[in-house]
């Protein structure tokens, strides 16, 4: 008996000392590492930047050294996606972790649209606020503001500040849409109360010139759309009156947002912060600052890509100077794929030369083909992320749950997969599948396979000269052999087609099958 007790005590002793030594080891390895709790989080979100628009992804005609630094010293994703091929739905999914096709209001919005995210909905900033973060947005919003009848001369809400952002300095929609003013925490910046702003998307205000009627006033010509109010010689979408002192300067917009982003970082460096830095480039109208104009040899589209890259470099420099680079996770990506002529004559087509904005992919902005959503995607965290290239399937919609995991928050969103290890480059196990959206249509990727269900409508959007992905027949592609989606395998692989349709419909419903049956009758 005594011997047995002694033996038990002996074994327990060994176990105890083993456990303590393990704990010690664990503790010491934690203290050896850089602090991992509460890193600052920055999402740099470009607008209409294509997979092939950065040299890190193989562009040879344009050089983006600062974005490349993030890519070369971070993880460069070769299968990173936006949720949609247009702006509003991608931004909706990014911030909420919910598929945009579940919200019928998540479509390209006019500048007067009401806020499309519920003020009780979970968002990245709300989740991070709950985890002790200060949260800010600088740049493009385009998710609607107010409740449907905004008075721009009073504090505009609900908006970002009602969704979890402690600070916001935004443009309401896009630079080609009115109102062409910055809005800080709900208030139009620089507004003279004696010159109130009025905005209307249907009717012009009496006596106001328009792009349509006053071509003599234009410094940039419109190609399609964009023929309403003229601001700074550029015709816009929508009508606006008043607010002269508040109107932005287009050529200074990039510098303006950079300064805001830098100031935000400096103001909040003592606490964990989240900054959503939503750059406006290379969306139309492309108005590079004079120090970038003509520098790319590709016209304004190339010039504003150089400008955006420079902004990234300056922003990184601020983090470096403030000693924050080693405690900040940066995600760099784009809201949708590239477009050349998006409504203005600006030489984007004429001066393109050998540049391929979509990289190896077919389609572009608005398209269900890969280039619509398959975008640049980089994660960077100095000293924490080992440089590498990841082929894992990831989507911006996954950032909410993944960032939550990273900061020890229990929040998860319904369509947002927790892929923190993948984003940190420690695992290649990304998503199994993903539903992609383009102008309310959806497609399905599973592994290397892509299914595009049949859709009515024109196969080519002639205004922007981009293939839409519409076809009367199912399209099936194997990206492992055919990145350019040239060979439709729907007829030669009926087994795979059936399997893909079943999986797609189980997640999306049979919306497309009904369409197809109508079409094929
Ligand atoms: C389209 C505009 C386009 C662009 C787009 C939104 C016309 C003819 N075209 O309606 O120029 O503004 O909306 O782009 O008006 S996005 O990147 O914000 O989704
Ligand atoms: Ca966009």
Q: Is 181 in the pocket of ligand 1 (CB under 6 A)?
A: no
Specify burial of residue 201 (Cβ count, 10 A radius: 0-12, 13-18, 19+). middle
Instruction: State the chain's mean pLDDT as an integer.
Output: 93
Which atom of ligand 1 lies nearest, measured to the CA of 86? 19
Please identify, by atom number, the ligand 1 atom nearest to the C-alpha of residue 225.
Answer: 8
Residue ranges of the chain assigned to CATH 3.30.1120.10: 434-520
| Fold annotation for 434-520 | Arylsulfatase, C-terminal domain (3.30.1120)
Residue nearest to atom 6 of ligand 1 (CA): 108
Instruction: Tell me the sheet residues that pair with 231.
Output: 234
HSE-CB at 72 with a 13 A cutoff on CA atoms is: 10
Q: Where in the sequence of the chain do the CATH 3.40.720.10 domains occur? A: 40-197+242-429
Count the Cβ atoms, other than its own, within 10 Å of residue 214.
13
Going from the Cα of 317 to the center of ligand 2, the distance in angstroms, rounded, reads 26
List, in sequence order, every beta strand (DSSP E) within 255-370. 273-278, 328-334
Tell me, in angstroms, the distance from the centre of ligand 2 to residue 462's CA.
19
Cα(340) to ligand 2 centroid in Å equals: 12
Domain 40-197+242-429 has CATH 3.40.720.10: yes
Instruction: Establish whether residue 437 lines the binding site of ligand 1, counting it when its CB lies within 6 angstroms of any ligand atom.
Output: no
| Per-residue pLDDT tens digits for 334-365 | 999 999 999 999 999 999 999 999 999 999 99
Tokens of 382: 């100095």
Q: Which residue's alpha carbon is nearest to atom 4 within ligand 1?
A: 342
For residue 455, give every residue at least 6 positions away whose Cβ sits within 8 Å of its Cβ, in sequence order, or none: 368, 441, 468, 469, 470, 471, 512, 515
- Residue 34: the pLDDT is 44
86 CA → ligand 1 middle, Å: 8
Per residue in 148-201, pLDDT tens? Answer: 999 999 999 999 999 999 999 999 999 999 999 999 999 999 999 999 999 999
- Neighbour count for residue 428 (Cβ, 10 Å): 12
- What would the pLDDT profile of 507-521 be if each residue is shown by its tens digit? 998 787 665 544 443
* Omega of the bond leading into 158 within 30 degrees of 0 (cis): yes
Q: Whose CA is nearest to atom 3 of ligand 1?
A: 342
- 95's CB contacts (< 8 A; 6+ apart) are 117, 123, 124, 125, 143, 163, 276, 400
Q: What is the 265 CA–ligand 1 centroid distance (Å)? A: 31
Quick check: 25 pLDDT over 50? no
Residues of the chain with pLDDT > 70, as a percent, come to 91
Tokens found for residue 241: 């009156």
Q: Confirm if 378 and 74 have CB atoms less than 8 A apart.
A: yes
pTM here is 0.92
Give the residue with greater pLDDT, 6 vs 130: 130
CA of 179 to the centre of ligand 1 (A): 15
- What backbone torsions phi and psi does residue 453 show, to the nearest 5 degrees? -70, 165
Distance (angstroms) between ligand 2 centre and the Cα of 514 equals 30
What is the atom index within ligand 1 of the atom nearest the CA of 463? 8
Q: Which residue has the tokens 């894992």?
A: 392
The DSSP line for 223-277 is: SSS--SBEETTEE-BSEEE--GGGBPPGGGHHHHHHHHHHHHHHHTTTS-EEEEE
Which of 86, 178, 239 most suits a substitution to test ligand 1, by most atoms within 8 Å of the C-beta? 86
Supply the DSSP symbol for 222. B
| 283 Cβ inside 6 Å of ligand 1 | yes
Point out the ligand nearest to the CA of residue 237. 1
Does ligand 1 lie within 6 Å of residue 343's CB atom? Answer: yes
């Amino acid at each position: 008996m005594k011997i047995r007790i002694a033996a038990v005590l002996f074994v327990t002793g060994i176990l105890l000392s083993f456990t303590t030594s393990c704990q010690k080891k664990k503790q010491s390895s934690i203290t050896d590492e850089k602090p991992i709790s509460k890193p600052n989080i920055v999402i740099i979100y470009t607008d209409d930047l294509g997979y092939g628009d950065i040299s890190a992804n193989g562009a040879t005609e344009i050089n983006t050294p600062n974005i490349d630094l993030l890519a070369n010293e971070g993880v460069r994703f070769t299968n990173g996606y936006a949720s949609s091929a247009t702006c509003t739905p991608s931004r909706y999914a990014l911030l909420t972790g919910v598929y945009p096709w579940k919200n019928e209001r998540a479509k390209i919005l006019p500048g007067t649209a009401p806020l499309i995210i519920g003020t009780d909905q979970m968002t990245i900033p709300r989740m991070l606020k709950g985890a002790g973060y200060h949260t800010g947005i600088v740049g493009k919003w385009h998710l609607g503001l107010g409740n449907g009848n905004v008075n721009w001369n009073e504090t505009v809400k609900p908006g970002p500040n009602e969704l979890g952002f402690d600070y916001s300095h935004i443009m309401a929609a896009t630079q080609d849409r009115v109102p062409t003013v910055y809005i800080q925490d709900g208030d139009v910046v620089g507004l003279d109360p004696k010159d109130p702003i009025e905005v209307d998307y249907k009717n012009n205000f009496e006596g106001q010139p328009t792009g349509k009627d006053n071509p003599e006033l234009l410094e940039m010509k419109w190609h399609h759309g964009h023929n309403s109010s003229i601001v700074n010689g550029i015709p816009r979408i929508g009508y606006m009156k008043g607010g002269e002192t508040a109107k932005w300067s287009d050529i200074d917009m990039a510098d303006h947002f950079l300064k805001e982003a830098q100031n935000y970082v400096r103001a909040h460096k003592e606490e964990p912060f989240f900054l959503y830095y939503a750059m406006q480039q290379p969306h139309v109208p492309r108005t590079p600052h004079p120090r970038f104009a003509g520098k790319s040899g590709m016209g304004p589209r190339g010039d504003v890509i150089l400008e955006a890259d420079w902004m990234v470099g300056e922003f990184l420099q601020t983090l470096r100077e403030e000693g924050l680079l080693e405690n900040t996770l940066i995600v760099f990506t784009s809201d949708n794929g590239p477009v050349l002529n998006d409504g203005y004559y600006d030489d984007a087509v004429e001066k393109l030369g050998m540049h391929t904005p979509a990289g190896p992919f077919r389609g572009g902005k608005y398209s269900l083909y890969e280039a619509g959503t398959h975008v640049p995607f980089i994660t960077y965290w100095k000293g924490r992320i080992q440089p590498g290239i990841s082929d894992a399937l990831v989507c911006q919609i996954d950032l909410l749950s993944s960032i939550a995991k990273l900061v020890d928050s229990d929040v998860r969103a319904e369509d947002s997969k927790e892929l923190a290890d993948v984003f940190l480059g420690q695992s290649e196990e990304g998503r199994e599948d993903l539903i992609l959206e383009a102008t309310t249509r959806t497609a399905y990727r599973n592994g290397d396979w892509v299914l595009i269900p049949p859709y009515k409508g024109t196969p080519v959007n002639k205004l922007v000269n981009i293939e839409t992905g519409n076809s009367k027949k199912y399209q099936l592609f194997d990206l492992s052999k055919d990145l350019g989606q040239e060979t439709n395998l729907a007829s030669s692989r009926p087994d795979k087609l059936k399997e893909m349709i079943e999986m797609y419909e189980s997640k999306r419903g049979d919306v497309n099958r009904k369409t197809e049956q109508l079409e094929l009758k």
